[in-house]
Amino acid sequence: MTTRVGVVTFPGSLDDRDAQRAVRLAGAEPVALWHRDKDLHQVDAVVLPGGFSYGDYLRCGAISRFSPVMDTVIEQAKLGMPVLGICNGFQVLCESHLLPGALTRNDSLHFICRDQKLRIENAGTAWTRDYSAGQEIVVPLKNGEGRFVADERVLDELEAEGRVVARYLDVNPNGSYRDIAGITNAAGNVVGLMPHPEHAVEPLTGPTTEGLGFFTSVLKQLVNA
Amino acid sequence: MSLDTVKNAEQTPDAGQPWAELGLKEDEYARIREILGRRPTGAELAMYSVMWSEHCSYKSSKVHLKQFGEKAPENDAMLVGIGENAGVVDVGQGYAVTFKVESHNHPSYIEPYQGAATGIGGIVRDILAMGARPVAVMDPLRFGAADHPDTRRVLPGIVAGIGGYGNCLGLPNIGGEVVFDSCYQGNPLVNALCVGVMKHEDIHLAQASGPGNKVILYGARTGGDGIGGVSVLASETFDATGPAKRPAVQVGDPFQEKLLIECTLEIFKEDLVAGIQDLGGAGLSCATSELASAGTGGMRIELDTVPLRDHTLSPEEILMSESQERMCAIVEPGKVDRFLEICEKWDVIATVIGEVTDGERLEIFWHGELVVDVPPRTVAHEGPTYHRPFARPSWQDALQADAPTASRLARPANGAELKDALLKVAGSPNQASKAWITDQYDRYVLGNTVLATPEDSGMIRIDEETNLGVSVATDGNGRYTKLDPYAGAQLALAEAYRNVAAGGAKPLAVSDCLNFGSPEDPDVMWQFAEATRGLADACQVLGTPVTGGNVSLYNQTGDVAIHPTPVVAVLGVIDDVTRRTPVGFAEEGQLLYLLGDTADELGGSAWSQVVHGHLGGLPPKVDLERERLLGEILIAASRDGMVDAAHDLSDGGLAQALVESCLKGGKGARVVVPEGTDPFVFLFSESAGRAVVAVPRSEELRFNDMCGARGLPAARIGVVDGEALEVQGQFTVTLAELRDAHTGVIEALLA
């Protein structure tokens, strides 16, 4: 049976089709999920894509977090369903308290789009099993509010528990604390990532294909589960 | 507050009206009275004044613009020509592409962020209204001197506005231009281009036919923004105590526009509209009169049903409001429910505001009283036409006589001086890397961007199965056009054409944005006449018709006009985007060939500007047959894998092209000056019809044979090699030195 990976479309989601393409290229079946629909349509995992849901008005992710679909996503995430939040999706996960911390305005005060080098710090999560710890990859980064912040206690806890999934290398593009590009929850099934692996899945359109691993990882996770 | 109804207008024929304040001439006002057989109501006056403005009616330019139609080359690819929201071109496999470039110059100077943002919003809705999914945007920009304090106010705001709107809308920004010149100090140019893709059967037109069909206004509520000059009317005629001047610049909401796009595409998919028009300049006045005029003629609107943000708005203001993110659709009665349902799904407000009638009048009611009763064609399509006087400026001969000869401008005399000039040009604001600007735009979203700035063109894949794609380049050189408007416009086309071909795509069609000074100045009008004639002639030779575009006049401060700046966008098609050719030199050992002829042509050049602050002489010679041949060679070489990199030669000549290709690919080059050629001319001449290509050694024979057989001069000038750019016998400059000179320039001046 094909693995079904849901991609949620909120009003203002932009990279939803890109995430669906990445899921397809990884060998799974992408399933479009609609923000008003509580039903997850028997998907095995969920991607919350990038974009500007609700225009990023009020606070990034703050309104989407209250959409009907998120009730079910939060419930299932707590039961262990793999959930990946990319960029705006990461912001939604923080607003939902599935992940700690918050994403604030870049320290440059500018939106930034660049090919970003990352180091995978934790290759044990549902979304990073196909990488090795310490592996360096390049994927696009594009955000205006991507600066990960949390208090020292939370940061120390994330570090101590190995919950920093990826870190910026060479350049910290947005002033994220401790160069953090992505984190996971304690169980390792929920991952939030500021850069965009779904834009690095084809040699034609991406700087590399090194983002595909996030999507193949979850397949392996689900098959082995 | 008294309402100026049609009845009232009939009864008070002599009531004074502020037609002059609204920008109408006395004879224009008299013509309106003649058309209506009475004085216009306030609402009618507002409609005519804005629809007969230069911006909406093209009254000064249309006698010249008609050449684009008259001289249009035969082109089977044209599906929809000039006159609609945007032209549509067949690109094969059942796909059609629509694209258009427009200006938003004046608003962007007053309020840089919102001016630039709503410029993107407007052009995207034009493309959407044709039935297409918008897939990419581009921004040709012109600013005053990079080191002028006001440029620090204008540029960051404009760039943030383009990014803020485009990024939130989810459209990749794949190219454009950034040019600095003090002539744009008080008149920055903010042009915006959008490309959209659809299937042939999805093409939609702006027309209201079928009596009984409903008129639906959907999208944002109507507010008091963008009313501009019409506030004169509102405050003077009706309510002197109300809010006086309303903001003339519109405020954009990209989130609303994103919903509008998705909602509209879903509506198209279910075939629910008979006609559609976006609301841009002149708002509802424009949409209702154009839809009615292009349809059967009759339309009845209940203006008080329009959803408002501000309930104090008068009917005149509602008609004029340029509130963004609104569309107007004509829908058969049986399809209205489904239409409204889809709008509800996307949280888009939609309201039936009227219907198509079997009459020939556009009738607008305000709480049951008739306030507008006009023949719509007289508003939308039968505005005034001016034959403005024009004459070759008295200073033109002297300007052309001031040629940058070796005796007039000192030229580099040895290798060290050549190196110095190369670094100066590469590090000047116009030639320096624009990454600080373009990195504020999302170029990845939608996942189909194959090439983006700083490549020669932006390229988008439109079919993931077949790899069919399109590419677009925009170019325009105000300095060349100042020296010779006829040639300058042709050079803009030639460069955009060359840029598209360099990437491997076949040029198909043109859109243009003609930015000029005041048409009331015969000097400017001559520039305009010459430039349009030049462009129309060149399009005819190259077989690329103008499909649409925009004219922006009055770009001047006091008596001083900007350089005439026709910005030309060329759209090309490529059957297989995996064959595209990038600009970067990436493979050591590949051979560098210079294609085309190099003459001593430095008039209007980057070198003359950067090193001497000089503008004079003649621009490079135009040879359109050569451009076509060069294009064919570049396309064939790309398709057959004979070149791995190609870069067109333009501003800064070969020197600048080598710098950019080396830095982009991360590899150096060893170059030899051909025997009998002056090294300075070799490096800095801006002769047109040229490109530099990197040829794999295994392909050299085949490539040479092709150029020889077709008669294109191709000179082997060097090899991709090492960590430096070496011009043998002259100088060596390391990639690190080049990078230092070329990057960081813009942010140092403006961040």
CA distance B596 to chain A (A): 30
Q: Say if CB B662 and CB B668 are below 8 A apart.
A: yes
* pLDDT above 90: residue B703: yes
Task: Report, as residue numbers or ranges, the catalytic residues of B.
Answer: 55, 104
Q: Which phi-psi region, left, alpha or beta, contains residue B210 (left: φ > 0; alpha: ψ -120 to 50)?
A: left
Q: What is the DSSP string of B591-631?
A: EEEEES------TT-HHHHHHH----S-PPPP-HHHHHHHH
Per-residue DSSP letter, A200: S
A107 near B CB under 8 A: no
* pLDDT above 80: residue B228: no
Among B120, B433, B442, B580, pick the best mutation site for testing chain A contact (most A Cβ within 10 A): B442
pLDDT attached to residue B248: 66
Give the mean pLDDT of chain B: 94
Taking contacts as CB-CB distances below 8 angstroms, the residues of chain B near A114 are 439
Q: Say if CB B728 and CB B671 are below 8 A apart.
A: yes
* pLDDT above 90: residue B76: no
Contact A11 B346 (CB under 8 A): yes
Domains of chain B as residue ranges with CATH: 6-61+204-380 (3.90.650.10)
Q: Which one, of B569, B556, B346, lies nearest residue B473 by Cα?
A: B569
Closest residue, chain A, to B751 (C-alpha): A108
Taking contacts as CB-CB distances below 8 angstroms, the residues of chain A near B464 are 21
pLDDT band at B282 (very low <50, low <70, confident <90, very high): confident
Q: Helix, strand, or coil here: A117?
A: strand
B265 near A CB under 8 A: no
Task: Report, as residue numbers or ranges, the catalytic residues of A.
Answer: 87, 196, 198
Contact A204 B259 (CB under 8 A): no
Measure CA of the first residue to CA of the last residue in chain B; give whole Å: 50
Does B278 count as an annotated binding residue? yes
Give CA–CA dist B425/B602, Å, rounded: 13
Per-residue DSSP letter, B562: P
> Averaged over B417-441, what is the pLDDT?
97
Per-residue DSSP letter, B82: B
pLDDT attached to residue A225: 65
CA triplet B473, B476, B479: central angle to 5 degrees? 155
Q: What is the DSSP string of A56-97?
A: G-SSTTTTGGGSHHHHHHHHHHHTT--EEEETHHHHHHHHTT
pLDDT attached to residue B296: 82
B367 near A CB under 8 A: no
pLDDT attached to residue B232: 46
List C-alpha distances in Å: A193 to A10, A165, B411: 18, 8, 54
Q: Say if CB A207 and CB A195 are below 8 A apart.
A: no
Question: Which of B160, B254, B577 is opposite residue A204, by nearest beta carbon?
Answer: B577
Residues 6+ apart with CB under 8 A from B404: B602, B603, B605, B608, B612, B614, B616, B617
Taking contacts as CB-CB distances below 8 angstroms, the residues of chain A near B164 are 111
H-helix or E-strand spanning residue B370? strand B369-374
Query: Chain-centre distance of CA B487, in angstroms?
Result: 20
pLDDT attached to residue B434: 97
Contact A205 B447 (CB under 8 A): yes
Q: Say if CB B164 and CB A111 are below 8 A apart.
A: yes
Contact A199 B254 (CB under 8 A): no
Contact A140 B444 (CB under 8 A): yes
* Token pair recorded at residue B8: 């009232």
Q: In what order do the strands lie in the sheet with B469-475?
A: B449-451, B458-461, B469-475, B565-574, B506-515, B546-552
Q: ipTM exceeding 0.90? A: yes
B465 near A CB under 8 A: no
Measure CA of the first residue to CA of the last residue in chain A; give whole Å: 14
> Averaged over B113-142, what is the pLDDT?
95
* pLDDT above 70: residue B234: no
CA distance A186 to chain B (A): 31
What are B186-212's pLDDT values in tens digits?
999 999 999 999 999 888 877 778 899
* Token pair recorded at residue B587: 């493979």
What are B83-103's pLDDT values in tens digits?
777 889 999 999 999 999 999
Pairing of strands B724-727, B669-671: parallel
Residues 6+ apart with CB under 8 A from B444: A18, A113, A140, A142, A196, A199, A205, A206, B172
Q: Which string of b and e fits B227-254 if b means at least 16 CB within 10 Å?
A: bbbbbbbbbebbeeeeeeebbbbbebbb
Give CA–CA dist A148/B40, Å, rounded: 60
* pLDDT above 70: residue B502: yes
Question: Which of B256, B346, B450 is opposite residue A205, by nearest beta carbon?
Answer: B450
B445 near A CB under 8 A: yes
Query: Chain-centre distance of CA B308, in angstroms?
Result: 31
Residues 6+ apart with CB under 8 A from A16: A7, A8, A9, A32, A49, A51
Does B335 count as an annotated binding residue? no
pTM for the whole thing?
0.95
Question: Which of B255, B347, B443 is opposite residue A57, by nearest beta carbon?
Answer: B255
> Averaged over B499-514, what is the pLDDT?
97
Taking contacts as CB-CB distances below 8 angstroms, the residues of chain A near B167 are 52, 111, 142, 144
B259 near A CB under 8 A: yes
Domains of chain A as residue ranges with CATH: 4-224 (3.40.50.880)
Taking contacts as CB-CB distances below 8 angstroms, the residues of chain A near B450 are 204-205
What percent of chain B clears pLDDT 70, i.e. is strictly above it? 97
Q: Which residue positions in chain A have pLDDT lower than 70?
A: 1, 225
Taking contacts as CB-CB distances below 8 angstroms, the residues of chain B near A17 are 446-447
pLDDT attached to residue B440: 97
pLDDT band at B241 (very low <50, low <70, confident <90, very high): very low
Give CA–CA dist B70/B66, Å, rounded: 6
B466 near A CB under 8 A: no
H-helix or E-strand spanning residue B727? strand B724-727
* Token pair recorded at residue B529: 């006449």
Q: Say if CB B301 and CB B368 are below 8 A apart.
A: no
Q: Which amino acid is at A135?
A: Q
Crossing angle, helix A212-224 and helix A16-25, to 10 degrees?
A: 60
What are B5-62's pLDDT values in tens digits?
999 999 999 999 999 988 899 999 999 999 999 999 999 999 999 999 888 889 999 9
Instruction: Please list the residues that pair with B82 across neighbouring strands.
Output: B84
Per-residue DSSP letter, B235: I
